[in-house]
Chains A and B, each alone.
Chain A
Amino acid sequence: MNPSSPQPDLATILASSVHDMKNSLGLMGRLLAKHEAVWTGISAEAQSEYSHLLYEVNRMNANLISLLTLYKFGKGLYPFDPQPCQPAEICEEVAMQHRVLLSASKVVLHIDVPDDLVWHFDADLIAGVLGQALTNAINYTTDTVRIAAGVEHDELWLAVEDNGRGYPPQMLVDSRKAVSGVDFSSGSTGLGLYFAEHVAQLHRNRERIGSLRLENGGPLGGGRFVITLP
Protein backbone atom coordinates (compact mmCIF):
# COMPACT_ATOMS: atom_id res chain seq x y z
CA MET A 1 0.00 0.00 0.00
CA ASN A 2 1.18 3.48 -0.75
CA PRO A 3 2.44 4.87 2.59
CA SER A 4 0.79 8.24 1.93
CA SER A 5 -2.68 6.78 1.40
CA PRO A 6 -5.04 7.32 4.33
CA GLN A 7 -5.09 4.68 7.04
CA PRO A 8 -8.16 2.50 6.51
CA ASP A 9 -10.60 2.59 9.38
CA LEU A 10 -10.59 -0.82 11.09
CA ALA A 11 -14.25 -0.53 12.06
CA THR A 12 -15.17 -0.01 8.41
CA ILE A 13 -13.13 -3.02 7.32
CA LEU A 14 -14.77 -5.12 9.99
CA ALA A 15 -18.22 -3.91 9.04
CA SER A 16 -17.79 -4.68 5.38
CA SER A 17 -16.36 -8.12 6.17
CA VAL A 18 -19.25 -8.82 8.50
CA HIS A 19 -21.56 -7.84 5.71
CA ASP A 20 -19.89 -10.31 3.39
CA MET A 21 -20.01 -13.09 6.01
CA LYS A 22 -23.66 -12.40 6.62
CA ASN A 23 -24.45 -12.84 2.95
CA SER A 24 -22.65 -16.12 2.75
CA LEU A 25 -24.29 -17.41 5.93
CA GLY A 26 -27.63 -16.33 4.55
CA LEU A 27 -26.97 -18.41 1.46
CA MET A 28 -25.92 -21.38 3.61
CA GLY A 29 -29.07 -21.11 5.65
CA ARG A 30 -31.19 -20.98 2.52
CA LEU A 31 -29.50 -24.07 1.07
CA LEU A 32 -29.86 -25.96 4.32
CA ALA A 33 -33.52 -25.10 4.54
CA LYS A 34 -34.08 -25.99 0.90
CA HIS A 35 -32.90 -29.56 1.45
CA GLU A 36 -35.08 -30.00 4.47
CA ALA A 37 -36.82 -32.99 2.88
CA VAL A 38 -33.60 -34.97 2.47
CA TRP A 39 -33.03 -34.94 6.20
CA THR A 40 -36.33 -36.42 7.24
CA GLY A 41 -35.48 -40.04 6.44
CA ILE A 42 -32.21 -40.19 8.35
CA SER A 43 -31.23 -41.41 11.79
CA ALA A 44 -32.33 -39.58 14.89
CA GLU A 45 -28.74 -38.61 15.63
CA ALA A 46 -28.21 -37.13 12.17
CA GLN A 47 -31.51 -35.30 12.44
CA SER A 48 -30.50 -33.79 15.70
CA GLU A 49 -27.19 -32.75 14.16
CA TYR A 50 -29.05 -31.20 11.26
CA SER A 51 -31.20 -29.16 13.57
CA HIS A 52 -28.09 -28.15 15.49
CA LEU A 53 -26.48 -27.05 12.24
CA LEU A 54 -29.53 -24.92 11.45
CA TYR A 55 -29.45 -23.47 14.93
CA GLU A 56 -25.80 -22.45 14.63
CA VAL A 57 -26.32 -20.89 11.22
CA ASN A 58 -29.32 -18.99 12.52
CA ARG A 59 -27.43 -17.82 15.57
CA MET A 60 -24.40 -16.67 13.61
CA ASN A 61 -26.56 -14.87 11.08
CA ALA A 62 -28.40 -13.05 13.84
CA ASN A 63 -25.11 -12.18 15.54
CA LEU A 64 -23.73 -10.68 12.38
CA ILE A 65 -26.87 -8.63 11.84
CA SER A 66 -26.56 -7.40 15.44
CA LEU A 67 -22.95 -6.45 14.83
CA LEU A 68 -23.81 -4.48 11.71
CA THR A 69 -26.64 -2.72 13.47
CA LEU A 70 -24.47 -1.91 16.48
CA TYR A 71 -21.90 -0.52 14.07
CA LYS A 72 -24.56 1.77 12.60
CA PHE A 73 -25.70 2.82 16.07
CA GLY A 74 -22.13 3.66 16.95
CA LYS A 75 -21.60 5.74 13.84
CA GLY A 76 -24.97 7.46 14.21
CA LEU A 77 -26.05 5.93 10.93
CA TYR A 78 -29.02 3.87 12.02
CA PRO A 79 -32.29 5.40 10.78
CA PHE A 80 -34.17 5.04 14.05
CA ASP A 81 -37.76 6.14 13.54
CA PRO A 82 -40.40 4.18 15.48
CA GLN A 83 -43.61 3.54 13.55
CA PRO A 84 -46.99 2.16 14.54
CA CYS A 85 -46.66 -1.61 14.16
CA GLN A 86 -48.78 -4.66 14.84
CA PRO A 87 -46.86 -7.03 17.13
CA ALA A 88 -49.00 -9.91 15.80
CA GLU A 89 -47.62 -9.34 12.29
CA ILE A 90 -44.03 -9.13 13.47
CA CYS A 91 -44.36 -12.31 15.53
CA GLU A 92 -45.91 -14.13 12.61
CA GLU A 93 -43.01 -13.17 10.37
CA VAL A 94 -40.45 -14.16 12.98
CA ALA A 95 -42.18 -17.53 13.21
CA MET A 96 -42.01 -17.94 9.43
CA GLN A 97 -38.30 -17.31 9.47
CA HIS A 98 -37.93 -20.08 12.05
CA ARG A 99 -40.25 -22.58 10.40
CA VAL A 100 -37.54 -25.01 9.28
CA LEU A 101 -35.58 -24.78 12.51
CA LEU A 102 -38.77 -25.43 14.51
CA SER A 103 -39.73 -28.48 12.52
CA ALA A 104 -36.19 -29.90 12.44
CA SER A 105 -35.95 -29.43 16.20
CA LYS A 106 -39.45 -30.90 16.69
CA VAL A 107 -40.47 -27.90 18.74
CA VAL A 108 -44.02 -26.55 18.77
CA LEU A 109 -44.48 -22.77 18.70
CA HIS A 110 -47.55 -21.01 20.11
CA ILE A 111 -48.18 -17.40 19.29
CA ASP A 112 -50.39 -15.61 21.74
CA VAL A 113 -50.58 -12.01 20.56
CA PRO A 114 -53.79 -9.98 20.16
CA ASP A 115 -54.39 -9.16 16.49
CA ASP A 116 -55.56 -5.62 17.10
CA LEU A 117 -52.61 -4.58 19.22
CA VAL A 118 -50.75 -1.58 17.76
CA TRP A 119 -47.65 0.01 19.27
CA HIS A 120 -44.90 2.39 18.20
CA PHE A 121 -41.49 0.78 17.74
CA ASP A 122 -38.80 0.00 15.21
CA ALA A 123 -40.11 -3.18 13.59
CA ASP A 124 -36.76 -4.35 12.20
CA LEU A 125 -34.96 -4.04 15.52
CA ILE A 126 -37.71 -5.73 17.48
CA ALA A 127 -38.04 -8.52 14.91
CA GLY A 128 -34.27 -9.04 15.20
CA VAL A 129 -34.39 -9.20 18.99
CA LEU A 130 -37.37 -11.57 19.04
CA GLY A 131 -35.76 -13.76 16.36
CA GLN A 132 -32.62 -14.17 18.44
CA ALA A 133 -34.63 -14.92 21.55
CA LEU A 134 -36.68 -17.48 19.64
CA THR A 135 -33.60 -19.20 18.20
CA ASN A 136 -32.22 -19.38 21.69
CA ALA A 137 -35.47 -20.70 23.17
CA ILE A 138 -35.74 -23.40 20.49
CA ASN A 139 -32.30 -24.62 21.47
CA TYR A 140 -32.91 -24.74 25.21
CA THR A 141 -36.54 -25.80 25.38
CA THR A 142 -37.89 -29.30 25.92
CA ASP A 143 -40.57 -29.30 23.22
CA THR A 144 -42.61 -26.07 23.33
CA VAL A 145 -41.98 -22.36 22.93
CA ARG A 146 -44.40 -19.46 23.08
CA ILE A 147 -44.37 -15.86 21.92
CA ALA A 148 -46.78 -13.62 23.76
CA ALA A 149 -47.47 -9.90 23.96
CA GLY A 150 -49.71 -7.47 25.75
CA VAL A 151 -49.95 -4.02 27.24
CA GLU A 152 -49.49 -3.43 30.94
CA HIS A 153 -48.88 -0.16 32.80
CA ASP A 154 -49.02 1.64 29.46
CA GLU A 155 -46.12 -0.41 28.15
CA LEU A 156 -45.96 -3.08 25.50
CA TRP A 157 -44.36 -6.33 26.67
CA LEU A 158 -43.17 -9.04 24.30
CA ALA A 159 -42.12 -12.37 25.76
CA VAL A 160 -40.46 -15.50 24.40
CA GLU A 161 -40.99 -18.43 26.75
CA ASP A 162 -39.91 -22.07 26.76
CA ASN A 163 -40.41 -25.19 28.83
CA GLY A 164 -36.76 -26.04 29.26
CA ARG A 165 -34.71 -25.87 32.44
CA GLY A 166 -34.64 -22.09 32.51
CA TYR A 167 -31.74 -19.65 32.73
CA PRO A 168 -28.93 -20.36 35.19
CA PRO A 169 -29.22 -17.97 38.17
CA GLN A 170 -26.22 -15.84 37.19
CA MET A 171 -27.90 -14.98 33.90
CA LEU A 172 -31.14 -13.63 35.29
CA VAL A 173 -31.42 -9.96 34.46
CA ASP A 174 -33.68 -7.01 35.00
CA SER A 175 -32.31 -3.98 33.19
CA ARG A 176 -34.46 -1.68 35.36
CA LYS A 177 -32.73 -2.80 38.52
CA ALA A 178 -29.18 -3.13 37.24
CA VAL A 179 -27.42 -3.17 33.92
CA SER A 180 -26.77 -6.70 32.82
CA GLY A 181 -23.04 -6.14 32.81
CA VAL A 182 -22.69 -8.44 29.84
CA ASP A 183 -19.35 -10.14 30.01
CA PHE A 184 -18.13 -10.78 26.51
CA SER A 185 -15.24 -12.93 27.71
CA SER A 186 -17.55 -15.53 29.21
CA GLY A 187 -18.84 -16.92 25.95
CA SER A 188 -21.71 -17.15 23.63
CA THR A 189 -24.63 -15.24 25.08
CA GLY A 190 -23.04 -11.82 25.38
CA LEU A 191 -23.74 -10.23 22.05
CA GLY A 192 -27.41 -11.13 21.72
CA LEU A 193 -28.17 -9.85 25.16
CA TYR A 194 -26.14 -6.71 24.74
CA PHE A 195 -27.96 -6.01 21.50
CA ALA A 196 -31.38 -6.64 23.01
CA GLU A 197 -30.67 -4.38 25.94
CA HIS A 198 -29.42 -1.66 23.65
CA VAL A 199 -32.51 -1.92 21.45
CA ALA A 200 -34.81 -1.84 24.49
CA GLN A 201 -33.16 1.31 25.78
CA LEU A 202 -33.30 3.02 22.42
CA HIS A 203 -37.09 2.93 22.68
CA ARG A 204 -38.30 5.83 24.73
CA ASN A 205 -41.48 7.68 25.33
CA ARG A 206 -40.59 10.99 26.94
CA GLU A 207 -38.93 10.13 30.26
CA ARG A 208 -39.78 6.41 30.12
CA ILE A 209 -37.44 3.87 28.65
CA GLY A 210 -37.62 0.28 27.39
CA SER A 211 -36.34 -2.63 29.45
CA LEU A 212 -35.16 -6.21 29.23
CA ARG A 213 -35.72 -9.07 31.66
CA LEU A 214 -34.50 -12.65 31.71
CA GLU A 215 -36.49 -14.67 34.21
CA ASN A 216 -37.65 -18.19 34.94
CA GLY A 217 -41.15 -19.49 35.32
CA GLY A 218 -44.14 -18.06 33.48
CA PRO A 219 -46.86 -20.21 31.89
CA LEU A 220 -44.43 -22.72 30.37
CA GLY A 221 -42.21 -22.95 33.41
CA GLY A 222 -38.89 -22.56 31.62
CA GLY A 223 -36.87 -19.52 30.58
CA ARG A 224 -38.68 -16.28 29.87
CA PHE A 225 -37.24 -13.45 27.80
CA VAL A 226 -39.21 -10.20 28.14
CA ILE A 227 -38.68 -6.88 26.40
CA THR A 228 -40.88 -3.92 27.35
CA LEU A 229 -41.39 -0.83 25.25
CA PRO A 230 -42.97 2.36 26.62
Chain B
Amino acid sequence: MKLAGLKSVENAHDESVWAATWVPATDTRGALLLTGSLDETVKLWRSDELVPERTNTGHCLGVASLAAHPSGLIAASASLDSFVRVFDVDTNATIATLEAPPSEVWQLRFNPQGSTLAVAGGGSASIKLWDTATWDLVATLPIPRPEGPKPSDKSGSKKFVLSVAWSPDGKRLACGSMDGTISIFDVARGKFLHHLEGHFMPVRSLVYSPIEPRLLFSASDDTRVHMYDAEGKSLVGVMSGHASWVLSVDVSPDGAAIATGSSDTTVRLWDLSMRAAVQTMSNHTDLVWGVAFRPPGGSGVRAGRLASVSDDKSISLYDYS
Protein backbone atom coordinates (compact mmCIF):
# COMPACT_ATOMS: atom_id res chain seq x y z
CA MET B 1 0.00 0.00 0.00
CA LYS B 2 1.71 3.12 -1.14
CA LEU B 3 1.47 6.31 -3.11
CA ALA B 4 3.91 7.31 -5.78
CA GLY B 5 3.89 10.76 -7.30
CA LEU B 6 3.04 10.73 -10.99
CA LYS B 7 2.52 14.28 -12.04
CA SER B 8 2.12 17.70 -10.54
CA VAL B 9 0.80 20.75 -12.29
CA GLU B 10 1.95 24.00 -10.77
CA ASN B 11 -0.33 26.97 -11.29
CA ALA B 12 -3.02 24.71 -12.58
CA HIS B 13 -5.40 27.51 -11.69
CA ASP B 14 -4.82 31.23 -11.24
CA GLU B 15 -5.92 31.01 -7.64
CA SER B 16 -6.34 28.50 -4.83
CA VAL B 17 -7.76 25.18 -5.94
CA TRP B 18 -10.61 24.30 -3.64
CA ALA B 19 -12.27 21.23 -5.04
CA ALA B 20 -11.47 18.08 -6.98
CA THR B 21 -13.46 15.12 -8.17
CA TRP B 22 -13.15 12.41 -10.76
CA VAL B 23 -15.61 12.06 -13.60
CA PRO B 24 -15.97 8.31 -14.20
CA ALA B 25 -14.91 6.95 -17.55
CA THR B 26 -17.48 6.60 -20.27
CA ASP B 27 -17.48 4.41 -23.35
CA THR B 28 -15.83 7.10 -25.37
CA ARG B 29 -13.21 8.43 -23.01
CA GLY B 30 -11.33 7.70 -19.84
CA ALA B 31 -11.92 9.24 -16.46
CA LEU B 32 -11.36 12.98 -16.14
CA LEU B 33 -10.21 14.99 -13.19
CA LEU B 34 -12.35 17.97 -12.38
CA THR B 35 -10.94 20.83 -10.32
CA GLY B 36 -12.58 23.98 -9.06
CA SER B 37 -10.88 27.12 -7.88
CA LEU B 38 -11.20 30.52 -6.33
CA ASP B 39 -10.40 31.87 -9.81
CA GLU B 40 -14.07 31.06 -10.61
CA THR B 41 -13.25 28.35 -13.11
CA VAL B 42 -13.67 24.59 -13.31
CA LYS B 43 -11.00 22.74 -15.23
CA LEU B 44 -10.98 19.28 -16.74
CA TRP B 45 -7.79 17.26 -16.92
CA ARG B 46 -7.16 14.18 -19.00
CA SER B 47 -4.90 11.15 -18.55
CA ASP B 48 -1.96 10.57 -16.24
CA GLU B 49 -0.25 13.53 -17.80
CA LEU B 50 -3.00 15.83 -16.57
CA VAL B 51 -3.48 17.38 -19.97
CA PRO B 52 -5.85 20.35 -19.67
CA GLU B 53 -9.04 19.40 -21.46
CA ARG B 54 -11.16 22.45 -20.95
CA THR B 55 -11.82 25.40 -18.69
CA ASN B 56 -15.38 26.13 -17.64
CA THR B 57 -16.27 29.62 -16.59
CA GLY B 58 -19.48 31.11 -15.42
CA HIS B 59 -19.16 30.92 -11.68
CA CYS B 60 -18.76 33.83 -9.39
CA LEU B 61 -16.94 34.05 -6.07
CA GLY B 62 -14.97 30.87 -6.29
CA VAL B 63 -15.86 27.25 -6.93
CA ALA B 64 -16.16 25.51 -3.61
CA SER B 65 -17.45 22.08 -4.50
CA LEU B 66 -17.76 19.63 -7.35
CA ALA B 67 -19.63 16.40 -7.96
CA ALA B 68 -19.71 14.00 -10.86
CA HIS B 69 -22.63 11.84 -11.86
CA PRO B 70 -21.85 8.11 -11.70
CA SER B 71 -22.56 7.85 -15.41
CA GLY B 72 -19.67 10.15 -16.11
CA LEU B 73 -21.83 12.23 -18.41
CA ILE B 74 -22.76 15.12 -16.22
CA ALA B 75 -21.22 16.96 -13.33
CA ALA B 76 -22.18 19.71 -10.94
CA SER B 77 -20.13 22.59 -9.62
CA ALA B 78 -21.04 24.97 -6.85
CA SER B 79 -19.63 28.32 -5.91
CA LEU B 80 -19.74 30.66 -2.95
CA ASP B 81 -22.54 32.65 -4.60
CA SER B 82 -24.74 29.62 -3.83
CA PHE B 83 -25.43 28.64 -7.42
CA VAL B 84 -25.09 25.05 -8.54
CA ARG B 85 -24.31 24.62 -12.20
CA VAL B 86 -25.08 21.24 -13.70
CA PHE B 87 -23.30 20.72 -16.99
CA ASP B 88 -22.60 18.17 -19.65
CA VAL B 89 -19.04 17.02 -19.08
CA ASP B 90 -18.18 16.57 -22.70
CA THR B 91 -19.85 19.63 -24.19
CA ASN B 92 -19.92 21.99 -21.25
CA ALA B 93 -23.56 22.69 -22.03
CA THR B 94 -25.38 23.96 -18.97
CA ILE B 95 -28.08 21.47 -18.04
CA ALA B 96 -29.47 23.26 -15.07
CA THR B 97 -28.72 26.04 -12.62
CA LEU B 98 -29.91 25.24 -9.16
CA GLU B 99 -30.46 27.50 -6.24
CA ALA B 100 -32.56 27.30 -3.16
CA PRO B 101 -32.22 30.58 -1.34
CA PRO B 102 -31.50 31.31 1.34
CA SER B 103 -29.71 28.05 1.56
CA GLU B 104 -26.06 28.22 0.61
CA VAL B 105 -24.31 25.45 -1.19
CA TRP B 106 -21.40 23.55 0.20
CA GLN B 107 -20.55 19.96 -0.53
CA LEU B 108 -22.41 18.22 -3.39
CA ARG B 109 -22.83 14.50 -3.98
CA PHE B 110 -24.74 12.44 -6.53
CA ASN B 111 -26.17 9.27 -5.07
CA PRO B 112 -24.61 6.03 -6.35
CA GLN B 113 -27.70 5.36 -8.43
CA GLY B 114 -27.43 8.74 -10.05
CA SER B 115 -31.01 9.71 -9.38
CA THR B 116 -30.46 12.38 -6.78
CA LEU B 117 -28.04 15.19 -6.09
CA ALA B 118 -27.56 15.97 -2.41
CA VAL B 119 -26.39 19.46 -1.51
CA ALA B 120 -25.17 20.54 1.89
CA GLY B 121 -27.26 23.58 2.67
CA GLY B 122 -24.97 25.56 4.98
CA GLY B 123 -26.80 27.88 7.28
CA SER B 124 -30.20 26.47 6.39
CA ALA B 125 -29.16 23.50 8.51
CA SER B 126 -30.52 21.12 5.94
CA ILE B 127 -29.64 18.98 2.98
CA LYS B 128 -31.38 19.74 -0.30
CA LEU B 129 -32.14 16.83 -2.61
CA TRP B 130 -32.51 17.51 -6.33
CA ASP B 131 -33.99 15.09 -8.83
CA THR B 132 -31.48 14.54 -11.59
CA ALA B 133 -34.14 13.93 -14.21
CA THR B 134 -36.25 17.02 -13.68
CA TRP B 135 -33.80 19.11 -11.64
CA ASP B 136 -36.56 19.85 -9.23
CA LEU B 137 -35.98 20.25 -5.53
CA VAL B 138 -37.52 17.05 -4.23
CA ALA B 139 -36.76 17.15 -0.57
CA THR B 140 -35.21 19.15 2.22
CA LEU B 141 -33.80 17.12 5.07
CA PRO B 142 -33.51 19.43 8.06
CA ILE B 143 -31.22 18.70 10.95
CA PRO B 144 -33.25 18.83 14.12
CA ARG B 145 -32.15 21.82 16.13
CA PRO B 146 -31.53 21.42 19.78
CA GLU B 147 -34.35 22.81 21.86
CA GLY B 148 -33.51 26.31 22.96
CA PRO B 149 -35.33 29.36 24.16
CA LYS B 150 -33.60 31.68 21.72
CA PRO B 151 -33.33 30.28 18.25
CA SER B 152 -31.31 33.30 17.21
CA ASP B 153 -28.45 32.73 19.59
CA LYS B 154 -25.22 31.53 18.23
CA SER B 155 -26.05 27.87 18.52
CA GLY B 156 -28.06 28.48 15.38
CA SER B 157 -24.99 28.74 13.24
CA LYS B 158 -23.52 25.64 14.72
CA LYS B 159 -25.75 23.30 12.77
CA PHE B 160 -24.38 24.86 9.63
CA VAL B 161 -24.12 21.95 7.19
CA LEU B 162 -20.84 21.60 5.37
CA SER B 163 -20.55 18.10 4.04
CA VAL B 164 -22.65 15.20 2.74
CA ALA B 165 -22.02 11.56 1.92
CA TRP B 166 -24.18 8.80 0.49
CA SER B 167 -23.97 5.24 1.74
CA PRO B 168 -23.02 2.81 -1.04
CA ASP B 169 -26.58 1.53 -1.30
CA GLY B 170 -27.94 5.05 -1.49
CA LYS B 171 -30.27 4.51 1.46
CA ARG B 172 -28.46 6.60 3.96
CA LEU B 173 -27.20 10.13 3.83
CA ALA B 174 -24.72 11.52 6.29
CA CYS B 175 -24.03 15.17 6.79
CA GLY B 176 -21.42 16.98 8.81
CA SER B 177 -21.83 20.37 10.38
CA MET B 178 -19.84 23.23 11.85
CA ASP B 179 -20.28 22.10 15.44
CA GLY B 180 -18.84 18.69 14.64
CA THR B 181 -21.97 16.61 14.81
CA ILE B 182 -22.73 14.19 12.04
CA SER B 183 -26.36 13.49 11.22
CA ILE B 184 -27.60 10.33 9.57
CA PHE B 185 -30.78 10.34 7.45
CA ASP B 186 -32.94 7.62 6.04
CA VAL B 187 -33.31 8.91 2.50
CA ALA B 188 -36.28 6.85 1.43
CA ARG B 189 -38.38 8.01 4.32
CA GLY B 190 -36.79 11.45 4.43
CA LYS B 191 -36.25 10.96 8.12
CA PHE B 192 -33.52 11.98 10.49
CA LEU B 193 -32.16 8.93 12.29
CA HIS B 194 -29.47 9.97 14.73
CA HIS B 195 -26.38 11.99 15.42
CA LEU B 196 -22.83 10.69 15.58
CA GLU B 197 -20.86 12.55 18.20
CA GLY B 198 -17.18 12.87 18.80
CA HIS B 199 -16.12 15.90 16.82
CA PHE B 200 -16.54 19.35 18.24
CA MET B 201 -15.14 21.28 15.33
CA PRO B 202 -16.34 21.57 11.75
CA VAL B 203 -16.63 18.34 9.78
CA ARG B 204 -15.68 19.34 6.26
CA SER B 205 -15.61 16.00 4.55
CA LEU B 206 -17.39 12.68 4.88
CA VAL B 207 -17.19 9.45 2.97
CA TYR B 208 -18.67 5.97 3.30
CA SER B 209 -16.56 2.88 2.77
CA PRO B 210 -17.43 1.26 -0.56
CA ILE B 211 -17.10 -2.23 0.87
CA GLU B 212 -18.50 -1.91 4.36
CA PRO B 213 -21.77 -0.04 4.02
CA ARG B 214 -21.96 0.98 7.65
CA LEU B 215 -18.48 2.40 7.86
CA LEU B 216 -18.27 6.18 7.66
CA PHE B 217 -15.14 8.33 7.71
CA SER B 218 -15.22 11.93 8.81
CA ALA B 219 -12.56 14.63 8.55
CA SER B 220 -12.65 17.45 11.04
CA ASP B 221 -10.88 20.64 11.98
CA ASP B 222 -9.93 18.93 15.23
CA THR B 223 -7.10 17.29 13.23
CA ARG B 224 -8.62 13.84 13.48
CA VAL B 225 -10.31 11.39 11.19
CA HIS B 226 -13.02 9.39 12.88
CA MET B 227 -14.26 6.04 11.77
CA TYR B 228 -17.87 5.42 12.72
CA ASP B 229 -20.25 2.56 12.55
CA ALA B 230 -22.94 4.85 11.21
CA GLU B 231 -25.75 2.45 12.02
CA GLY B 232 -24.56 1.34 15.43
CA LYS B 233 -23.73 4.92 16.38
CA SER B 234 -20.33 3.87 17.63
CA LEU B 235 -16.95 5.45 17.14
CA VAL B 236 -14.85 2.63 15.80
CA GLY B 237 -11.55 4.39 15.47
CA VAL B 238 -9.73 7.66 15.73
CA MET B 239 -6.84 8.50 13.47
CA SER B 240 -4.78 11.45 14.50
CA GLY B 241 -1.52 12.72 13.14
CA HIS B 242 -2.30 15.76 11.07
CA ALA B 243 -0.98 18.93 12.56
CA SER B 244 -3.90 21.04 11.50
CA TRP B 245 -7.42 20.77 10.11
CA VAL B 246 -8.29 17.75 8.06
CA LEU B 247 -10.07 19.26 5.09
CA SER B 248 -10.80 16.28 2.93
CA VAL B 249 -11.04 12.52 3.16
CA ASP B 250 -11.59 9.90 0.51
CA VAL B 251 -11.56 6.15 0.65
CA SER B 252 -9.79 3.98 -1.88
CA PRO B 253 -11.97 1.91 -4.24
CA ASP B 254 -10.72 -1.30 -2.59
CA GLY B 255 -11.79 0.04 0.80
CA ALA B 256 -8.43 -0.75 2.34
CA ALA B 257 -7.07 2.75 2.67
CA ILE B 258 -8.17 6.31 3.07
CA ALA B 259 -6.40 9.44 1.97
CA THR B 260 -6.66 12.75 3.76
CA GLY B 261 -5.74 16.27 2.85
CA SER B 262 -4.98 18.77 5.55
CA SER B 263 -4.19 22.39 6.11
CA ASP B 264 -0.82 21.19 7.39
CA THR B 265 -0.08 20.96 3.62
CA THR B 266 0.30 17.17 3.65
CA VAL B 267 -1.60 14.35 2.05
CA ARG B 268 -1.65 11.20 4.15
CA LEU B 269 -2.42 7.65 3.28
CA TRP B 270 -3.88 5.58 6.11
CA ASP B 271 -3.89 1.81 6.23
CA LEU B 272 -7.25 0.90 7.69
CA SER B 273 -6.07 -2.46 8.96
CA MET B 274 -3.43 -0.70 11.03
CA ARG B 275 -5.42 2.47 11.56
CA ALA B 276 -2.20 4.33 11.11
CA ALA B 277 -0.70 6.68 8.59
CA VAL B 278 1.58 4.72 6.31
CA GLN B 279 2.65 7.55 4.08
CA THR B 280 2.81 11.30 4.11
CA MET B 281 3.13 13.25 0.87
CA SER B 282 4.42 16.79 1.05
CA ASN B 283 4.05 17.93 -2.54
CA HIS B 284 1.95 20.90 -1.62
CA THR B 285 2.99 24.08 0.08
CA ASP B 286 -0.38 25.25 1.29
CA LEU B 287 -3.71 23.89 2.47
CA VAL B 288 -4.75 20.71 0.70
CA TRP B 289 -8.44 21.23 0.07
CA GLY B 290 -9.26 18.07 -1.78
CA VAL B 291 -8.18 14.48 -2.20
CA ALA B 292 -9.97 12.10 -4.53
CA PHE B 293 -9.42 8.50 -5.57
CA ARG B 294 -10.27 7.74 -9.16
CA PRO B 295 -13.24 5.41 -9.38
CA PRO B 296 -12.54 2.04 -11.05
CA GLY B 297 -13.75 1.30 -14.54
CA GLY B 298 -12.98 2.41 -18.04
CA SER B 299 -10.60 0.85 -20.44
CA GLY B 300 -7.17 -0.05 -19.21
CA VAL B 301 -7.36 1.85 -16.00
CA ARG B 302 -7.02 -0.79 -13.40
CA ALA B 303 -4.29 1.18 -11.67
CA GLY B 304 -5.37 3.27 -8.68
CA ARG B 305 -5.03 7.01 -8.89
CA LEU B 306 -5.27 9.68 -6.27
CA ALA B 307 -5.49 13.38 -6.98
CA SER B 308 -4.94 16.23 -4.55
CA VAL B 309 -5.53 19.95 -4.94
CA SER B 310 -4.25 22.79 -2.85
CA ASP B 311 -4.35 26.46 -2.05
CA ASP B 312 -0.90 26.63 -3.64
CA LYS B 313 -2.76 26.55 -7.03
CA SER B 314 -1.29 23.17 -7.90
CA ILE B 315 -2.78 19.75 -8.47
CA SER B 316 -0.98 16.46 -7.94
CA LEU B 317 -1.61 12.97 -9.20
CA TYR B 318 -0.34 9.84 -7.47
CA ASP B 319 -0.26 6.19 -8.29
CA TYR B 320 -1.97 4.19 -5.57
CA SER B 321 -0.97 0.57 -5.29
Partners in one complex: no
